[in-house]
Structure 1
Amino acid sequence: MSRLFNVCLIASWYSSNIGVLLLNKYLLSSYGFKYPIFLTLCHMMACSLLSYIAISWLKIVPLQTIRSRWQFLKISALGVIFCSSVVTGNVSLRYLPVSFNQAVGATTPFFTAVFAYLLTFRREGWLTYVTLIPVVAGCVIASGGEPSFHLFGFLMCIGATAARALKSVVQGILLSSEGEKLHSMNLLMYMAPVAVLVLVPAAFFMERDVVGITISLARDDTKFIFYLLFNSSLAYFVNLTNFLVTKHTSALTLQVLGNAKGAVAVVISILIFQNPVSVTGIFGYSITVTGVFLYSEAKKRSRSN
């Protein structure tokens, strides 16, 4: 029963991760709802509400309070970084196919190593840094062979990847540092409202007609509201299942599964959206994924020594 529960949990994490990615692509590109900031705002509002319900009402994890002004400032900074990573990622999906988006996103370990050194002065073993070479080289090859390459979309995707890596480093400090040690679910509950406060003025200044367009789309197509609500709920479910998979398996298992998830997302997106791919692009992405797996193995060995 325990093994079956873990399999169902991992399947839920996979489906929610890939589901929110594909639904974002559908809404922002195929459906024509070209408002990535407002879409991210909906995600963050859902995370705020559902986090509060999960912790305060359902008692999934114990409620933790913010201990100091300095801790609040770090949570606020993380909230800004988090919403920046999601917004730039959603913007990139307007211009790039999911397959190429995932190829660029696979370079996250490279940016994580850079930010970890800059913020915590933590150095990895030489073998770990060597494995980052194919990670970056594969992305460069995939970029050169991408039929749907778009420079602005590519820059947004790089920005999203870097912000995601920075978020993971800052989050690691908040989750593990002595005197901090916020639980990941509590951290999301405090972080999401900060992101909402940043995104509300950004959405209304940069996407001025978004409210009118949203109301108009809801009147013309009742399924649009379902898409929006379901997509926003999935965004929270990704975080919830991420925590549950880590709790019932291990952080290393999550990392390995995450590496494989990118390849699964690429195959599914190509089947659904029928975007053209080249042999060069597939070759480059394969090199990147191989580099990511080697990076995971090198990190595992460095921890065991």
Structure 2
Amino acid sequence: MVEAQTWATRRMSNPRLESTAVDIPSTPPGDARVPAAGASSSPSVLTALIIASWYLSNIGVLLLNKYLLSYYGFRYPIFLTMLHMISCAVYSYIAIHGLEIVPRQYILSRRQFFKILGLSVIFCFSVVCGNTSLRYIPVSFNQAIGATTPFFTAIFAFLITFKRETAEVYLALIPVVFGIVLSSNSEPLFNLFGFLVCVGSTAGRALKSVVQGLLLTSEAEKLHSMNLLLYMAPMAALILLPVTLYVEGNVAAVTIEKVLGNAKAAVAAVVSVLIFRNPVTVMGMAGFSVTVMGVVLYSEAKKRSKVSAR
């Protein structure tokens, strides 16, 4: 009792004890006190996976194009570029509409349409020149020339937009030019035509970046890179179709003949299943697909053996 009165007397003599309430937070459970390592590391892991996929796809396409054009005997770089554009259109459509990675953006005016069409023409020129160069020069030399893109970007930015860089920027471009001159002189497999078309590809890539920044500057006309590819790729494929028919001769006839011949069995099998309703297993479909693929490979091997025999 004395102890209780003493405490009450202390509270009445110190008004701060009456008006102040001290809230002591409850101790969180052990798992809540530990920071979520997965939540903090998941963006880093996703970024690493995206970068790895970008490297893998970019290098894979580059090496595959080199193999097709230089070693396999495929002599249609424009047609190959057209297939590249069709693939870009399909994959970007799936990424936007199917996977919904980015929201869909639409072309708002005829003026914006023609701006994208102009970029598609430059895009075609750059990719066609790049693929053509792979037929004549090594991949390493191709990539060394491609590293001079900042040099051409600075030139086009000055010629088109009159944008002047600082003296330090121009001085930093001197080693870029000197390095490519040194590489050209020391390249044992140097080819003048391959070198020129690769320079054209690099210049086209730089020109596209400058023109893109110039044309699509307003907020209403700005497009995400994936949406821009969705519109540019089909335009580029349509531009390249008459060019490949005119320049590369019988590529369409040869390709259509192969595709129709190899697809005939597949079409017949699908139609028979639809008409007669015969049951089909997954293993049977896989076996049929392997068979058709084997026929395609056999046809290609026979063709190459005839060419080498000549």
Aligned counterpart for 2:143 among listed residues 102, 106, 114: 102
- Can you give the 5+ residue segments of structure 2 that lack an aligned partner in the other structure? 1-41, 263-293, 300-310
- The question of 1:61 aligning with 2:135 is answered no
Q: Distance in 1 between matches of 2:226 and 2:123?
A: 14
Counterparts of residues 177-188 of structure 1 (less than 5 Å):
177-188=218-229
Aligned counterpart for 1:193 among listed residues 222, 228, 234: 234
Counterparts of residues 1-305 of structure 1 (less than 5 Å):
1-174=42-215, 176-214=217-255, 222-223=296-297
Q: Distance in 1 between matches of 2:210 and 2:147?
A: 16
Q: Distance in 2 between matches of 1:134 and 1:200?
A: 40
- What residue identity is the alignment partner of 2:156? F
Q: Deviations 1:174-196 (Å, cap 9, x if unpaired)?
A: 55444321111111111111101
Q: Distance in 2 between matches of 1:7 and 1:98?
A: 25
1:175–1:184 Cα contact (<8 Å) kept: no
Structure with the greater alpha carbon radius of gyration: 2
1:96–1:154 Cα contact (<8 Å) kept: yes
Instruction: Summarize the Cα distance change of 1:110–1:121 in structure 2 as closer, same or farther, 3 Å threshold.
Output: same
Structure with the higher helix share, 1 or 2: 1
Q: Distance in 2 between matches of 1:117 and 1:16?
A: 33
Instruction: Summarize the Cα distance change of 1:2–1:124 in structure 2 as closer, same or farther, 3 Å threshold.
Output: same
Q: CA RMSD in A?
A: 2.1
Match of 1:275 in 2: none
Query: What is the TM-score when the length of structure 1 is the normalising length?
Result: 0.69
Secondary structure of 1:157's partner? helix
Secondary structure of 1:132's partner? helix
Secondary structure of 2:134's partner? helix
Instruction: Summarize the Cα distance change of 1:167–1:216 in structure 2 as closer, same or farther, 3 Å threshold.
Output: same
CA-CA distance at 1:104 after TM superposition:
0.9
Q: Deviations 1:101-152 (Å, cap 9, x if unpaired)?
A: 1111111100011111222222221111111001011101110111111111
The count of residues paired between Structure 1 and Structure 2 equals 225
Match of 1:237 in 2: none
Q: Distance in 2 between matches of 1:18 and 1:90?
A: 13
Secondary structure of 2:59's partner? helix
Query: What is the TM-score when the length of structure 2 is the normalising length?
Result: 0.68
CA-CA distance at 1:6 after TM superposition:
1.8
CA-CA distance at 1:67 after TM superposition:
1.8
Secondary structure of 2:117's partner? helix
Instruction: Summarize the Cα distance change of 1:148–1:224 in structure 2 as closer, same or farther, 3 Å threshold.
Output: farther
- What residue identity is the alignment partner of 1:73? F
- Can you give the 5+ residue segments of structure 1 that lack an aligned partner in the other structure? 226-305
Match of 2:21 in 1: none
Q: Distance in 1 between matches of 2:256 and 2:104?
A: 36
- What residue identity is the alignment partner of 1:23? L
Q: Distance in 2 between matches of 1:190 and 1:120?
A: 25
Secondary structure of 2:190's partner? coil
Instruction: Summarize the Cα distance change of 1:223–1:177 in structure 2 as closer, same or farther, 3 Å threshold.
Output: farther
- What residue identity is the alignment partner of 1:222? V
Secondary structure of 2:232's partner? helix
Percent sequence identity is 62
Instruction: Summarize the Cα distance change of 1:224–1:15 in structure 2 as closer, same or farther, 3 Å threshold.
Output: farther
Instruction: Summarize the Cα distance change of 1:112–1:223 in structure 2 as closer, same or farther, 3 Å threshold.
Output: farther
CA-CA distance at 1:216 after TM superposition:
6.6
